[in-house]
Amino acid sequence: MIVIGELINGMYKDVGKAIVNKEADVIQHLAVDQVKAGATVLDVNTGPYSKNQKDDMKWLIETIQGVVQVPLALDSTKADVIEEGLKLVTKRAIINSTNADDAKMQTIFTLAKKYNTQVIGLAMDKSGVPNSKDKRLELAATIVAKAIEFDIATDDLFLDPIVLPVNVAQTQGTEVLESIREFRLLCDPSPNTTIGLSNVSQGTKFRSLVNRTFLAMAIANGLTSAILDPLDKELMDAMITAELILNKAIYCDSFLEAYRKK
């Protein structure tokens, strides 16, 4: 599994504050802790409080790269903010994200080609998040077709079916799970799949339990990556166990530890 650590996001209060006050140690701790806990990629999002997103993105990347060397997922709705970041990254980055709108794809895939990045493609468009598997599949296919047009390898795509909170959109759980399975069949090589996991438990009482149950189900449906909180140890344990059951690793009594020794 490609684990994209979600915690460096200005939407969280302490991170937002750290960005405003340029408290490098807060960001660096989060970077190191997430990587130690098993994140293979770190999401970087300046968040809503940022007054100058370009500068903040640059500062975040430099701050993170001062302590860890992992690929970064540059998370912004603004292409120019992402591009500023792409100029600085030392490892092959992921752009987070494009949707299925033609103009957006045009911009993002141009950047992806120019800076040789991977791309997260959200199965949504101007009209919002689809409420059926079929519509998600249609949008995902649109993204794949556009990527091929740009000569981007299909396995450099991370297709995201858009997870919705279980307490407000309970019918969407199966639609999302089935979408993940079918996204994998869209092309060869199969695209990667990803989800913003924490969204599923938004507003629920037992967030960690909901997250890890959904993650295990998504992995069983072929999920290859997720944006999640790697510091949730039980979540990571569930992920490791799910992959073990799918025969992605050889069992031994210390299989959790074996995974973490990788």
Contacts to other proteins by CB under 8 A: 249-254, 257-258, 261-262
CB of 260 to other proteins, least distance (A): 10
Both tokens of 16, joined, read 């937002």
Q: Which residue has the tokens 């999302």?
A: 176
Nearest to other proteins of 87, 261 (CB atom): 261
10-15 own/partner pairs: CB under 8 Å, 24+ apart:
10/45, 10/46, 10/47, 10/48, 10/49, 10/50, 10/56, 11/45, 11/47, 11/48, 12/47, 15/47
- In three-state secondary structure terms, 200 is helix
Which of 32, 2, 7 is closest to 118 using CA atoms?
A: 2
Residue placing its CB nearer to other proteins in the complex, 36 or 126: 36
Q: Which is nearer to other proteins, 97 or 224 (CB)?
A: 224
Cβ of residue 245: shortest distance to other proteins, in angstroms? 14
Q: Which is nearer to other proteins, 183 or 259 (CB)?
A: 259
CB of 211 to other proteins, least distance (A): 26
DSSP 3-state of 138: helix
Q: How far is the CB of 261 from other proteins (least distance, A)?
A: 6
Cβ-contact 116, 152 below 8 angstroms = no
- 3-state secondary structure at position 4: strand
Q: How far is the CB of 223 from other proteins (least distance, A)?
A: 18
CA dist., res. 199 & res. 218, Å (int): 14
CB proximity list for 186: less than 8 A, separation 6 or greater: 137, 140, 141, 144, 154, 159
Nearer to other proteins, 22 or 248 (CB): 248
How far from each other are the two terminal CA atoms of the chain, in whole angstroms? 12
Amino acid identity of residue 34, one-letter, is Q
Select 103 or 250, whichever has its Cβ closest to other proteins.
250
Smaller CB distance to other proteins: residue 206 or 251? 251
**Measured from the CB of residue 258, what is the shortest distance to other proteins in angstroms?**
5
